[in-house]
Amino acid sequence: MIKVNNINIKDLYESLGGDGLIVKIGELIGGEEPLMTPDDFNFKEIYEAVDPTAFPVIAGQLISKKVMDAYILEKKIGDSLTTTMVSKLEIDKVTGLTEAGAMKKVKAGMPYEHTGDIGEKWVQIKGDKYGKILDILEETVMFDQTGKILLRAGQIGEGAAAFREKHILNTIQDIAGYYAYYPSGTRVVLYSSGHVNQITNKLEAWDDLDAANVKLGVMKDEKGDPITIRPTTLLVPIALDAIANRLYGPIMAGAANQEANPFAGRFSPISSPYLDAQSAIIWYLGNFKKQFIWKEVIPMQVLTRKSNDNEASWERDIIASFKVRYFGECGALDYRYVCKSTGAA
């Protein structure tokens, strides 16, 4: 029998009632240093101890905790490559970086230019909802399969993190099905010689980093004025992880011979297998958080269906059901802040 402060679940429920027990469990599994974890509880004992309306809520607390912990613990480099933009719209029109940041001369007595309206230069960021439902069947509880339920919850959390990671990394690569750049609502190839943000250097020495850095250094805004771009990140496939980390060090082979690396400590190397899935030689250098956003309409969440008065419950003996979802999209605000190398030369 599970004990909470030396009181079993049934006694605690009778003492505190359904709402009180829900609050108590929330306190025990919450906070930075929780006193208990979802794995310390038993769904069968909870189901037998509380009324049918309280069980889905309590089970939801435990499953939500398991899902979110697994989601957060799963390694996600996508967050370090994007800037989160909270939105309430399915389709956003976002003013381009160079257009939005331009200052205007204001003559004496004349009004300042307003930025409340979208200007002529904007990019479109749509959004989609993704999710999955976890059902708890009567048999699952009856035969005491708590471990199976929580294992599945953890897998859903990990899977959601991996799915979102793939979403972001594929968008950064601008591959089919994940196109990133929609100026004025029309899809445009993100990396091209026309945008002057693509090179062919194979990643071998600091000279190759220099080629990408020089490309970023000649970027101009719509008015033809130079843009100061400070690349921060070298994004590579796992196949290039070793060379990328060598390029972060103080000594690296140059075009001619062994010499000091002028880019030592400049560009933090990050690798991802989602790049290897497309190519083992393509790499990127730039300020990714300036170029890419993660539009968040609904953050990752777990919802509990509290009523069993539905057709699915009657047909399949579902005693609790939980919806895991998020609504978001990755997109590019500009093309000037990241340089791509095909790695072919």
CATH code of 285's domain = 3.30.2320
Whole-prediction pTM: 0.87
For residue 56, tell me if it sits in a domain. no
Rounded Cα gap, residues 122 and 119, in angstroms: 7
For residue 310, tell me if it sits in a domain. no
What DSSP string runs through 111-123? Answer: PPPP-SS--S-EE
Structure tokens at 273: 């297998």
Q: Would you say residue 53 has pLDDT above 90?
A: no
Residue 118: which pLDDT band, with cuts at 50, 70 and 90?
A: very low
For residue 249, tell me if it sits in a domain. yes
For residue 59, tell me if it sits in a domain. no
pLDDT at 257: 63
Rounded Cα gap, residues 272 and 250, in angstroms: 24
CA quadruple 159, 161, 164, 168: dihedral sign: negative
Structure tokens at 293: 């956003």
Instruction: Kindly state the percentage of the chain with pLDDT values over 90.
Output: 69
For residue 217, tell me if it sits in a domain. yes
Task: Classify 15 as helix, strand or coil.
Answer: helix
For residue 296, tell me if it sits in a domain. no
For residue 208, tell me if it sits in a domain. yes
For residue 127, tell me if it sits in a domain. no
**Which structural domain range is residue 278 located in?**
189-291+334-341
pLDDT, tens only, 280-302: 999 999 999 999 999 999 999 99
Exposure of 216 in the CB half-sphere (CA atoms within 13 A): 26
Query: What domain count does the chain have?
Result: 1
Mean pLDDT of the chain: 89
pLDDT, tens only, 196-224: 999 999 999 999 999 999 999 999 988 88
